[in-house]
A and B are shown apart, each in its own frame.
Chain A
């Protein structure tokens, strides 16, 4: 799966009109809409997803760890665009065990929360 700045949510810092290398590819994705989006998630229950863990139905975890502040496993993942809405449930394959997770609004942590 090819992923570019639009998938990563970084379209705001790409100006295709400047003709940078790859501008045509970015423009095509921006116009058609990305197949995948980068989202933040929290694990619902025990477990910690890690980089590379696949997601049922497509996509993968790009990074994951235990959040000391939130007390749960958190991470970032690419998921199919239609499943990128906060509140969407995910199932992540964490080394053979399916762990439930929920797509969350970013940022995951706000001071004092």
Chain B
């Protein structure tokens, strides 16, 4: 998508990651990178899928995303265990650019500390950190 967009139903981390808490299961979250992150990276050419079962820690890198020009760490907004990875990205990593909040999701996490969500920002607060 060409226009900056930060959906209201997501939680945001300052390192340009989002989390969507499952509506029916508050200990399950989907993670991805924000519109700003994919726009800064440029065309994503490779996403090295992390392993299902790996544990991730809030504020630590859990994966790498590569654009034509650079490699960037992906920072976890929440802690937990990876229960699913977006296999479609191994063939078509550009989904991260095309639909960062939809088909470009990265992993799903079983949260080890759901209360961490209190430390994340809402869409308005995150957008404010980008300085317009």
Contact = CB atoms under 8 A, between A and B. Distances in A.
When A and B form their complex, which 5 residue pairs have the shortest distance between CB atoms, in order from nearest?
A66-B45, A48-B66, A48-B46, A66-B68, A65-B68
B46 A65 contact: no
A66 B90 CA distance: 14
B48 interface: yes
Interface of A: 46-48, 50, 65-66, 68, 73, 95, 97
B68 A95 contact: no
Contacts of B48: 46-47, 97
Contacts of B45: 48, 66, 68
A47 B46 contact: yes
Interface in B71-99: 71, 90
A68 to B, nearest CB: 8
A46 B90 contact: yes
B71 A66 contact: no
Given A48-B45, A48-B46, A95 B64 contact: yes
A46 B89 CA distance: 12
A97 B71 CA distance: 14
A99 B38 CA distance: 25
A73 B64 CA distance: 15
Contacts of B46: 46-48, 66, 73
Nearest to B73: A95
A81 to B, nearest CB: 29
Nearest to B64: A95
Contacts of A50: 71
Interface string B12-33: 0000000000000000000000
Contact of B66 (A66, A68, A97): A66
A65 B69 contact: yes
